[in-house]
Amino acid sequence: MIMIRDAVRVGAGAARLPLSLVSRDIASGRLVHRGDVAGSDIALWALYPTRRLLNARVSAFLELLRRSFPTGMPEELAGYVDG
Whether 29 is covered by a domain: the verdict is: yes
Nearest to 63 by CA among 41, 42, 80, 46: 46
From CA 56, how far away is CA 37, in angstroms rounded? 40
Please give the tally of structural domains in the chain: 1
Instruction: State which residues form the domain around 64.
Output: 2-78
pLDDT tens digits for range 38-77: 877 767 777 877 767 788 888 898 898 888 888 877 777 7
What was the pLDDT predicted at 39? 73
Q: What's this model's pTM, rounded to 2 decimal places?
A: 0.57
Whether 44 is covered by a domain: the verdict is: yes
Three-state secondary structure call for residue 75:
helix
HSE of 36 in the Cβ direction (CA atoms, 13 Å)? 5
What was the pLDDT predicted at 82? 55
Whether 83 is covered by a domain: the verdict is: no
